[in-house]
Amino acid sequence: MTASLTPSMIEDEPRRGFTVTPAIELLVFAIAVVIAATTYGVLEGGTSTQPMTPPLVALLLVANLVPGVGLLMLVGRRIARRRAARSPIGGNGQLHVRLVAIFSTVAAVPMILVTIFASVLFQYGVQFWYSDRARGMLENASSLVRENVQQELNRVDGETRAMAVDVSNLLREGPIDAPRFAQGFGLQLYRRNLSEAVIVRRGDANPLALVNPYDRPLNRVVTEAMMNRIDTGEPSVTVQSRDRAGALVPLDYGPHTYLYTARVFDETIATQLRRGDQIVADYRALQSRSKTLQLRFNAALLIVSLLIVGIAVWIALAVADRLVRPVGDLVAAARRVADGDLTARVPDPRSRDEVGTLARAFNQMTGRIEEQNTELRTANNQLDNRRALIEAVMAGVSAGVVSVDPDGCVRIANRSATELLGTGSDGLVDRPLADVSPELASLVASGEREAIVQVARATDPRTLAVRIARTDAGPILTFDDITQQVLDQRRAAWSDVARRIAHEIKNPLTPIQLAAERLQRRYGGKVDEGDPTFARLTDTIVRQVGDLRRMVDEFSDFARMPKPVFREELLVDIGRQAMFLHEVAHPTIRFVLEHDEPGPSLVCDRRQIGQALTNIVKNAVEAIEARDAGDRVIRMTIGEDGPRSYVAVADTGVGLPADRDRIVEPYMTTRARGTGLGLAIVKKIAEEHHGTITFSDRDGGGTVVTMTFDAASLAALDQGANAPEPAGEGQLAALIRNRN
């Protein structure tokens, strides 16, 4: 069955998603105008010199950029729709519009992010240089140079004062023109790390003493103004020139006598001082123009971003025009194919680009579709004929037939398979085989070709004789129901064995017992009282005959197991009764019964379930007595696990034997006086009650025996309240309840 698209379906395809209307275009334009006006108001409202904060500038930039990009995209969309209106393809210009949207988005999104990053990065970088910290740094650098010069002036001033005292002392010791004074004067200058010195007196044109290594007119350095300041009471006068620092102090050598010293330092200090002042002045001028530079930079970012988006829209329109032409041919051919014309082909494209490759692939596709359509029709006819034949054959076969694909899902199943596996109304087809029947799935995975498998169903287990044929398409299973056949054969075989044993042993038991008892009565008094051999032998005969009679009764019970009478019973009462019988006889063993209140109910034969639990508890008692030391506890747990009810009996005995898999077989026992029929009878009772019996090791030593019943399947066998109650069961149960 095939479906085709008509041209009307293609052309009239309903619009989905967001639709741009003229009202939206006007709204975007209005938003752009409002944002532009708001930005102008914000810019005019602030101070003209202080720059704005980076977040505010970035916000204004993005607020103007986003609607601007939107307007460019809307303009590109309008142009694209007008060009598409002239195209025979139709589609309301969706290809043009989408290309414009894609190119604009590809250009706009990273552009907006880069613009924001560049703006914020620029703002934070500029903000540092316009900050108080940067201004303080520059001013501090200039102040540092000034402080260094001032420190040098202070040092020269201090050294000059000290030198004036020492020179005064030298003048008291000798005349100023003495060689000793000249030597001491020069030594004072050297020790104080000074470069030049002169002693002058007001009114004398020539200096009194002079040290002038740089050959400067030092007498001109000391001016009348400086002398006047000293005469008015100032202790010293400092002099700062381009390359040196000097100081003038009074000298105690007659009236109006003065000492001038100076130290030459590196000229770069003065240069740095002038340069620092110039940098501070330039910085203050730049700071006054900071807001203007900030606005110019962000305006340039906005214009460049819009220009890039506009170029992207123009490229998108050009690419869309180029793609539309070959796409028109593809659309026309596709419409012909949709109408059922599989011979439609696209003209051989001249270009070798992606569109040309698409056209060639379209031609190959339509050719292959035409060929495969013909082959498919032929194959469908053959499959229909074969399917009709197979269904007719499988419907009349009584054996179950199931075909499974390599993935483990059922592909084909006849009615007999559905009935045998008990899947109900759900059927088998398209369901995993592991969900339908885990046993069959395990057999398929094992690789065997034939096997006898017991399948658990919702109502009762089934024994199937399965044969597997393995093919490339998956295994095919055929199976017959041999449940009743196997059950009848097994019961008949064991019943015949039990009947023969009971018949051969039971006949001589009564004469043997009577003869032994007669010997005790007649000759017991005549035998010497000091010789107990006679009494011991006759007692042994009677006791062994009783054991044999008990064994024969078990054989008879197994051979003539009565048909169970099903009715609803409380498992807790049955378990309590089974434990009570042994609790009275074995006071050294602690018996524990665990269950929820009021406990699960189960449709069963009360006598048979009680017999099974009694045998299990009896085996637990014997296992505990066979152990020399340790705890002596038997714990029975009764509960529900979903739709199933269970009874678990755990003991602290010797544990399971090595060949634990055979302990439920008739006549298989590990005890010297056992018959091997106790657990066989328990297993038989469990099977007749649609249940299972399992054996496991108990943590810490001992055995756990668990009987599990399908409560749902047993509920269908309920015979009602009119089913006869076994004699004595009611009185014994009442006695146990009253005791507990």
Rounded CA separation 712/602 (Å): 9
- pLDDT above 60 (res 529): yes
- pLDDT above 70 (res 220): yes
Average pLDDT over every residue of 608-612 = 87
Average pLDDT over every residue of 225-248 = 84
Nearest one of 95, 70, 66 to 81, comparing CA atoms: 95
Domain definitions of the chain by residue range = 20-132+285-333, 148-273, 487-547, 563-716
What pLDDT shows up at residue 499?
63
- At 542-584, the pLDDT tens digits run 777 776 666 666 666 655 566 788 888 899 998 988 888 788 7
Task: Assign 636 a pLDDT band (cuts: 50, 70, 90).
Answer: very high
- pLDDT above 50 (res 322): yes
3-state SS, one letter per residue, for 332-354: HHHHHHHCCCCCCCCCCCCCCCH
Nearest one of 682, 522, 569, 667 to 617, comparing CA atoms: 682
- At 719-738, the pLDDT tens digits run 775 655 554 444 444 444 44
Task: Assign 680 a pLDDT band (cuts: 50, 70, 90).
Answer: confident
Rounded CA separation 100/315 (Å): 8
Rounded CA separation 57/123 (Å): 8
- pLDDT above 80 (res 458): no
Could you tell me the pTM of the whole model? 0.33
What pLDDT shows up at residue 48?
53
Which long-range contacts (C-beta less than 8 Å, at least 24 apart) are formed by 170-176?
171/252, 171/253, 176/208, 176/209, 176/253
Rounded CA separation 177/476 (Å): 140
With tokens 């009442």, the residue in question is 734
Provide the token pair at 243. Answer: 């390359």
- Report the mean per-residue pLDDT for the chain: 75
What pLDDT shows up at residue 650?
94
- Comparison of pLDDT for 135 and 115, the residue scoring more: 115
- Comparison of pLDDT for 429 and 391, the residue scoring more: 429
What pLDDT shows up at residue 6?
41
Rounded CA separation 212/626 (Å): 131
- pLDDT above 70 (res 652): yes
Rounded CA separation 244/152 (Å): 9
Average pLDDT over every residue of 666-671 = 58
Strands laid side by side in the 257-264 sheet: 209-211, 196-201, 257-264, 244-250, 237-240
Average pLDDT over every residue of 408-420 = 79
What pLDDT shows up at residue 637?
94
Nearest one of 549, 510, 507, 563 to 675, comparing CA atoms: 549
- Comparison of pLDDT for 199 and 558, the residue scoring more: 199
Average pLDDT over every residue of 294-314 = 79
What pLDDT shows up at residue 634?
92
Task: Assign 87 a pLDDT band (cuts: 50, 70, 90).
Answer: low
Task: Assign 146 a pLDDT band (cuts: 50, 70, 90).
Answer: low
Average pLDDT over every residue of 24-50 = 75
What pLDDT shows up at residue 89?
63
Rounded CA separation 118/107 (Å): 16
Average pLDDT over every residue of 52-81 = 77
Tell which CATH classification among 3.20.20.60, 3.40.50.720, 3.30.565.10, 3.40.50.300 matches the domain 563-716.
Answer: 3.30.565.10
Nearest one of 625, 633, 619, 637 to 700, comparing CA atoms: 633
Q: Where are the alpha helices (DSSP H) in 46-85?
A: 54-85
- pLDDT above 80 (res 523): no
Strand-pair partners of 409: 432
CATH 3.30.70 for domain 148-273: no
Percent of the chain with pLDDT over 90: 4
Average pLDDT over every residue of 231-253 = 84
- pLDDT above 50 (res 739): no
- At 157-190, the pLDDT tens digits run 888 888 888 888 888 888 888 888 888 888 888 8
Nearest one of 719, 723, 712, 718 to 460, comparing CA atoms: 712
